[in-house]
Amino acid sequence: MPSIIVVGLQWGDEAKGKIVDYVSQTADVVVRFNGGNNAGHTVVVGDQLYKFHTLPVGAMNPGVTSYIADGVVIDPSVLTGELDTLEERGFKVKTLKISGSAHVIMPWHKLFDRLEEERKGDRKIGTTGRGIGPCYADKVSRIGIRISEMIDPELFRARLDDVLSIKNKFLTNVYDAEPLDADVIFEDYSAYARRIAPLVTDTACEIYQAAKSGKKIVFEGAHGTLLDIDHGTYPFVTSSHVVAGGACTGTGIGPTMIDHVVGVAKSYTTRVGEGPFPSELLDETGSSIRERGKEYGTTTGRPRRCGWFDAVAVRLSTRVNSATALCLISLDVLSGFDTLQICSAYEVDGRIVNEFPTDVATLEKCKPVYEAMPGWSEDITAAKSFSDLPEAAQNYVRRIEKIVGTTVAVVSVGRRRDQTIVLRPDLLGS
Ligand code: IMO
Ligand code: MG
């Protein structure tokens, strides 16, 4: 049985959750490998809408063992809160397992996230404010606290006292803020630790064994490639390895055990937070896409910036992920436009550029070069097969496939599970 990585190809919010939900129907194992509760995944089952930030989307599928692996950062209050909410709605997550090596988001991480954004002012990143960047920074600085430490009361108290002593110096001396109280944090986190401790295991070992014994494994990516710490629009990025390679480093599974890399993109482009966005539409058309597509953040509720499909960006993402399939989401949102535009290149200082610039200074100067495509007026939300789509919609999909240089495996025409047209099941590991 195959191993499949699902990644976002834009700036997040590509509806990866929908594709993960689809491929995990027949999966044995689903793994989250990066990011934290800055992610927001929405899944619609029947008439019920579920929103996750930390839990893998695959946890919704009975019979699936879900893992939160090493590369994830965990806010224990959010994780336990999500488990409670699901249970209140009659859903019992039976087989969730958590890596002891995952790092814990501590109260000072959230505080520093906010204070740094304030300090940056105009050049702020527009983070979700969940403490993600500061938590990864501490991990890399080797002063982070891991889940395995949090669930050992004596060790946790010692680590907490040690790290907080230096963090409080920063808070009071650098940021002029109030210090945090170790006793309060210890008490709160000890309660979360008791709840989480039974779920902690050697996830890398278990996932490896599952792969070896032929189980179907889905690696569920969070965020989008253009938010990757190395390959995205730095510094307007998140702090984890979003790309497919991150599934290996964030889980402890080598690349030879991966069979498919599935990229997910919207049929247009959105972005939340600051940073360059060449095909952004600041006019009526942009607002219209936002309203039709209900483009408001799952995590922060912020209105998303909207624009035309940027094939230059998706070409870069397809390359750095070595994605073998493209899932094109929310095609239905584009019904009703007379003309659609696809950004196929950029113009920078009078030159045509076909590759996505890797530095923000150049990217900020990029002007989109558009190819116009005829739109369609039909409601396509009931289409069951590709041939049910109006010719103009088919042409739009095929043109994107050509310009990006990929194979479209799925076209989604609505949020529900049954609004998913699968053109190439083989590329999804089914
Ligand atoms: P999903 O999984 C959209 C963006 C933030 C901000 C930047 C850094 O729903 O696709 P951070 O809090 O991570 O330090 O913020 O990254 N960002 C996302 N935008 N969807 C996401 O995840 C995002 N995760 C991070 O808006 O610009
Ligand atoms: Mg999001």
* Cα–Cα separations (whole angstroms), residue 217 to 21, 29, 66: 13, 5, 10
pTM exceeds 0.75 for this model: yes
| pLDDT at 321 exceeding the cut of 90 | yes
Q: Please give the pLDDT value at position 420.
A: 97
DSSP H or E stretch at residue 388: none
DSSP H or E stretch at residue 261: strand 260-266
| Ligand nearest the Cα atom of residue 112 | 1
Q: How far, in Å, from the CA of 317 to the mean position of ligand 1?
A: 16
pLDDT tens for each residue of 16-66: 999 998 999 899 999 999 999 999 887 777 777 888 899 998 787 788 999
Q: How far, in Å, from the CA of 193 to the mean position of ligand 1?
A: 26
* Cα–Cα separations (whole angstroms), residue 245 to 65, 316, 371: 22, 15, 32
| pLDDT at 93 exceeding the cut of 90 | no
**Cα–Cα dist 2/200, whole Å:** 25
Question: Does residue 270 line the site of ligand 1, with CB under 6 A?
Answer: no
Asked if residue 330 lies in contact with residue 294, where contact means CB atoms within 8 angstroms, the answer is: no
List helix spans (H) across 170-283. 182-196, 203-212, 245-249
Helix 311-321 to helix 391-404 angle, to the nearest 10 degrees? 50
| Ligand nearest the Cα atom of residue 272 | 1
Name the residues annotated as catalytic.
Answer: 13, 41
| pLDDT at 133 exceeding the cut of 90 | yes
Question: How many C-beta neighbours within 10 Å does residue 291 have?
Answer: 13
Question: Does residue 238 line the site of ligand 1, with CB under 6 A?
Answer: yes
Question: Does residue 265 line the site of ligand 1, with CB under 6 A?
Answer: no
Which residue among 11, 18, 38 has the greatest number of ligand 1 atoms within 8 angstroms of its CB, and so is best to mutate? 38
Q: Please give the pLDDT value at position 220.
A: 96
**Cα–Cα dist 176/118, whole Å:** 13
| Ligand nearest the Cα atom of residue 8 | 1
What is the position in ligand 1's atom list of the atom closest to the CA of 128? 12
